[in-house]
Structure 1
Amino acid sequence: MGSSDGGGKGMAVEIGSTVAGYRLLACIGRGGMGEVFTAEHPRLPRIDAVKVLHPALGSDPVFRARFEREADLVARLSHPAIVAVFDRGVADDRLWIAMEYVDGADASALITDRGVHPLLAIAIVTTVAAALDHAHRNGVLHRDVKPENVLIRPGGDPLLPDAVKLTDFGIARVRDEVTGLTGAGTTIGTLAYTPPEQIEGGELDPRSDQYALACTAFELLSGAPPFTAETQQSLVKAQLLDRPPAVTSRNPALPSPVDDVLRRALAKRSADRFVDCGQFAGALDAAVRGRLSGGLPAAPPTPVVQRPVPPATGRARRRRLPSRLVVAGVVAVAVLVGLGIAVGATTAPRPPDAALATPATPRVQVTPTSIEIGWDRVNGATHYLVRQGDTTVYIGSGDHWSMPRPVPGEYAFSVVAVSGDRTTSAVGPASAAVQVTTVWGELQPLVDLFPTVLPSTPVSTDAFDGMVCSGLVGSQLVGNPVQVQIFCTGPSGYQLTLGMYPTAGQRDSYYRQRFAGERTRPMATSGGHPGRVYTAESAPGTGSVTLLYDDGVRARVAAEVSTAGRPATAARSVLDRLPL
C-alpha cells in the first residue's frame, strides 16, 4: 500500500509504507478480513498493531460495516485482559484499526501434545473468563474464543504470564442487536470450539462464549480440544450430539473433579452451563487444585435425540478436512448441518408423545447442487429429525435442511418432531419422491479444463489417482473472490484445490495478498501449460505449492496442492506428477 500522502489507490500493502501516519514494520498476522502489522505510532514513541482491510473487501459496504463495527465494539471495552483499540479510519480507500501490540505469542503456540502445565492453564482461563464477563456485561459476545485468539506475554514465572489478552472481536455481535451482519442462520468461527447453538443458527448468549472457553481449557489441559475429527461432518455431529470425553482420560494426572467441571461447561444446552465464565473458571481452579467440595450438578444428558450411526452404504464419499477446520467467512448453517448430520440412524424414534402434533408433509425441491427440504414447525417442538426411509439424515432445530450434492437416485423424506424432554411425535407423511441426477452444474467449466484430472461427475470414480472430489460455488474464506472451487483428496492424503476466478487480475491480487512478501517461480506443468508457483507452509507441518496459470482460459485458474505432515517439496512432487 502506498503512503497515505501519495500512494496509489489499490496498491498492495508493503512493509515500510505508511497507513494514516503509521509506518508498517512487519506483518504479524492474516485473518479473514485483513492483515495485521506492527507499526510505529506517528507521534508517540510506541509500537502499535495496525489491521488493514483486504483490498478486495474495501469497496463492499457490508464488509466495511463489519470492519468498522469491530473497532466500535472493542473500543467500548476497557479491560486489562482485552486488546485495546486506539483508533480507526480510512487511508487510500482502505479501512484500518490501530490496536495495542502484545509482544508474545498466542496460546496455541504453547500447547504441546500434553497441553500446558495445569497452573498455567488456570491462569490463562481465569484471565480470559474475566475479560469475557466484562464484555458480556457490556452487551458484547465474542463468538470466536479459541487459543489462537488469546495472546500471551511471558513473565519471569513460567506459570504466571506477564499478560493474557483476548483479541479478535472481529465477528462479535452485540447481544440482541439486529444489524444484518451476523444474524441467525450463519455460523462463523472454528468448529472445534463452536457451541451447538451456534452451529444450528440458534440464539446465542454469554454461555455460548463459555462453551468455547471450556473447549479452550480442555485443550490447554490435555493437548487437544474435546472433539476432534478428520472430516467436517464428523466434527459437527460431535459438537451437536456426542458426550464430551473425560479430560482425565487424556491427562490422568488431573484430579477427577475436573471432568465434572468441564462437562458442565460443555453442556449441549446453554441453560445447563455455569452462570457465567467467572463461575466456570473458579470451579475449574478449585478442581485442578484439589479444593472442590460439595460436587457439581450431574452432567446433563447430551443427546436430545437418537444418536445416528454411519450408514452401511449409499452415501457419497466426502473429501477429508483438517480436524481444526477454520470457517473464516459466513457459512450457511443449513450446509454445515447438512454435511455434519448426513449420516444414518436406522433405529426408529421413541414412541410418539400425544402432546406433539404429527408434522405435515415436507416440501422438497431439487436444485443443480442440492436437495432442499423444508417443513412447518410444530408447537412444543425444539428439534426435528428428517428421515429418508428408515434413516435419519438431519437432526436440528431449524425448519429447513439442504442435502449438498446427493448421489443419483430417488429421494423421499418425512419429519419427526422432538420436544425439550426428548419425547417425539409420530413420523409425518413422506414427501413425493424426487429424482436426482448428479452433474457438476456451475462447476462444469472448471471440470472441462482438466478432463484427465477430475471425475466426470462428483460421484464418478474416474479421477486421476482415484481422487475423491467435491465442489463449491464461491468461497468460505472472506476476501477470496473465487467463483467456483473443486477440492480433491488423493490416495496418499494430499489435497488438490482448483479454483476459477472472474479475471486473472483478481486472482493475482488475492494471492499477492495471501503470500505477501513471497516471490513466485516460473514453471510449466506436465501438460505444457506455463505458470508461476508460490511455495509455502499453509499450516504448521503442512507444505503447499500454488500454481497460477498464465495461458488462455487457465489464466483465471489457481491450482494448490498441500501435503499434511510433509514439507513443500512433497507437495511440489505431487504437483509435477498431476496431469494439470
Structure 2
Amino acid sequence: MIGRALNGRYELGEILGVGGMATVYRGHDHQLGRPVAVKVLNGGLADDPRFGERFGQEAQHAARLHHPRIVTVFDSGVDQGSPYIVMELVHGRPLSQLIAETTWLPVERAVGIAAAVCEALEVAHAAGLVHRDIKPGNIMITHEGGVKVVDFGIARASSSGAQLTQTAAVLGTAGYLSPEQATASPLDGRSDLYAVGCVLTEMLTGEPPFTADTSVAVAFRHVTEQPAPPSYRRPGLPPVLDTAVLRLLAKNPADRPADAAAARAELLAAVPVFTPADRTSELLAETRAMPPVPMPYQDQQRTSFLPPVAYPDAPEPARSRRSLAYAGVGLVAVAGAAVIGVLTLGGPDPSAAKAASTPSPSASTSASPTPSATPSAKQTPTGKPSPSPKLGPAAAVVALRAVVAQADPGKERDRYRALLDELDQAAQAFTAQEPQDAESALRNAQRLVRDLAKKHAIDNTTSQAWQAKLGALLAATD
C-alpha cells in the first residue's frame, strides 16, 4: 500500500500503526497540500459487511465531534474496494508507549491526562456517542503535551438499540472493559468512565486493575472482583485519589460519577496539594512525561491527606504480565461473555456492586490533617518526637488486606479470595460506621483463616499473626 494514492489524492507513506481492524499510514493530501493520517481497513475485512459498516460508522461518528481533545476526521472513501478514513495527523505517540517506558507516571501527569480524556468524552457523550474502547493505545500524547482521543471505530449511539455484534459478543479491549460491557448488557457513557479508571490505574501503578492469562479471564475479573486502590501497588498516593479512582471503577454504573464532567471535576479535586487551582488549565495542556519517582511526595508537605501508613512492600509492576494479558488485543470478541452473564444473572453481581459503591477505606479513612510531611518526627514542646499516629480500624483492615493479598494462595485460591472479600466488607463497614457489619465480616475472616491453616495453605505463625490482628480489630467494634 505504501506509495499508493487513494483515489489519486491521498498518497500513503510509512505505517504509523497496525490494529486488528485497520492500518494507519502517514499520508499526504495532494489536493490541499497537507500531511494527514489515513486509516485503511485491513485486507479481507472489507468483504465482511459488518466490518465495512463499523468502519463507515467510525467516520460518521468522529466527523460529528469537533474538539481539541478529539482527532478530527477530514474525509472518507473507498479505493479499489479498500475503505479508508482521512484524519488529522497527530505528532506524538500513544499513551501506551509512554506507560511502557516508565514504571509509572507522576500523579499530576496521570490525573491531567485522565481529566483531558474526560473532557473529550464529555463532548462525545453530549453528541450521544459512547466510545466503548478507551485504552492507552487510543489516547495520543502530542509532542507539545496535548491529549487527543482517537478511534471511534466501535462507538455506538447510546440512544440507538442497533447492535453490530452477535449475541454474547463483546467489543472492546479486555483490560478496560466495564462489567456491563463484559456481560453484553446495556451501557451508556458511564462505561467509558470505568475505562478511564482502568487507564488511570495503569498510569499510576504500571498495570490496569485486572490482568490474567486470557481475555475471558480478564473480563470475568472485571465482573466478579473488587479492584484494589492504586495505593496498594504504589504506596504514598493521596487517599482522596484512591477514592476518585474507585468511584470510576464501581461495578454498578449508578455508583460512578454521573457524567464525564463530574468525573473530571472529581479527579482534579483529588490532587489539590499537587495541583493548585491556577494551574488546572496548564496541567491539562502539559502532559509530557517526567522521570518516574519511586516513592513520591514522602518528603513534601501534606496538609490535607492522612499521615503516612505503613504498607507492606508493593510488588514491582509486572510489564511482562501486563503485555501477556492484553498486548495485541485490539478488538476482542469474548465468546465466553455469555457464561459470565449467566453466572451474574445477566449483569454485575448486586452484592459486588453494593460493595463497590462504598469508597475504599484507604481512600476515605478520616484523620486529622497534619501540617508536617513526617508526623512521626514531629517535635513536642519538650523537644521529644511525638509518637507515630495510630491507624484507625478501617486503615488497619486495609493494611492487613494488603498483607493477605501478597500471600501465595496455592490450591486454596477461592478461600483466599473469600478472605479478601470479607476484609473489604469489614473495611467498608468501618468506614460507614457500621460496627455490627464489620464484626460479622471479621468473624467470617477468622473462620477463613482457620480453614486456610487446616488446609496447610498458611503456616501456624502466619495464622496466629492474622488472627491476632483480626482479634484486635474485633475489639474495635465494641
- TM-score for both structures, normalised by structure 1: 0.50
Higher helix share: 2
Match of 1:525 in 2: none
Q: 2:15 aligns with which of 14, 22, 27?
A: 27
Match of 2:155 in 1: 172
Matching of residue 104 in structure 1 with residue 92 in structure 2: yes
Match of 1:196 in 2: 179
Q: 2:346 aligns with which of 397, 413, 417?
A: 397
Letter in 2 for 1:397: G
Q: 2:136 aligns with which of 134, 143, 147?
A: 147
| CA deviation string 1:100-156 (max 9, x = no partner) | 01011001111145311211112211111010010000000100001110011122x
Matching of residue 17 in structure 1 with residue 34 in structure 2: no
Q: In the alignment, is the contact (CA less than 8 A) between 1:248 and 1:259 conserved in 2?
A: yes
Distance 1:148 1:60, change over 3 A: same
* Runs of 5+ unmatched residues, structure 1: 1-12, 156-160, 296-319, 342-382, 385-393, 399-416, 424-580
Map 1:246-285 onto structure 2 (within 5 A): 246-285=229-268
Q: In the alignment, is the contact (CA less than 8 A) between 1:264 and 1:274 conserved in 2?
A: yes
Task: Write the distance in 2 (CA, Å) between the matches of 1:153 and 1:251.
Answer: 27
Match of 1:117 in 2: 106
Task: Write the distance in 2 (CA, Å) between the matches of 1:183 and 1:174.
Answer: 17
Match of 1:181 in 2: 164
Secondary structure in 2 aligned to 1:284? helix
Letter in 1 for 2:324: P
* Runs of 5+ unmatched residues, structure 2: 276-302, 306-321, 355-478
Q: Identity, % of aligned pairs? A: 37
CA displacement at 1:44 relative to structure 2: 2.0
Match of 2:443 in 1: none
Q: In the alignment, is the contact (CA less than 8 A) between 1:149 and 1:167 conserved in 2?
A: yes
Distance 1:66 1:421, change over 3 A: closer
| CA deviation string 1:471-517 (max 9, x = no partner) | xxxxxxxxxxxxxxxxxxxxxxxxxxxxxxxxxxxxxxxxxxxxxxx
Match of 2:325 in 1: 323
CA displacement at 1:221 relative to structure 2: 1.3
Match of 1:64 in 2: 52
- Report the RMSD for the aligned CA atoms in angstroms: 2.8
Task: Write the distance in 2 (CA, Å) between the matches of 1:149 and 1:422.
Answer: 28
Higher strand share: 1
Map 1:480-559 onto structure 2 (within 5 A): none
Distance 1:67 1:419, change over 3 A: closer
Q: In the alignment, is the contact (CA less than 8 A) between 1:200 and 1:396 conserved in 2?
A: no
Distance 1:238 1:325, change over 3 A: farther
Match of 2:37 in 1: 49
Q: In the alignment, is the contact (CA less than 8 A) between 1:231 and 1:321 conserved in 2?
A: no
Match of 1:128 in 2: 117
Letter in 2 for 1:145: I
Q: In the alignment, is the contact (CA less than 8 A) between 1:35 and 1:52 conserved in 2?
A: yes
Match of 1:138 in 2: 127
Q: In the alignment, is the contact (CA less than 8 A) between 2:182 and 2:220 conserved in 1?
A: no
Matching of residue 243 in structure 1 with residue 230 in structure 2: no
Distance 1:419 1:153, change over 3 A: closer
Distance 1:322 1:72, change over 3 A: same
Residue-pair matches, total: 309
Distance 1:396 1:321, change over 3 A: farther
Task: Write the distance in 2 (CA, Å) between the matches of 1:126 and 1:98.
Answer: 27
Matching of residue 95 in structure 1 with residue 83 in structure 2: yes
Distance 1:209 1:43, change over 3 A: same
Secondary structure in 2 aligned to 1:245? coil
Q: In the alignment, is the contact (CA less than 8 A) between 1:254 and 1:288 conserved in 2?
A: no
Task: Write the distance in 1 (CA, Å) between the matches of 2:223 and 2:173.
Answer: 14
Task: Write the distance in 1 (CA, Å) between the matches of 2:233 and 2:205.
Answer: 6
Task: Write the distance in 1 (CA, Å) between the matches of 2:323 and 2:105.
Answer: 26
Q: Which structure has more RCO (C-alpha within 8 Å, separation ≥ 6)?
A: 2
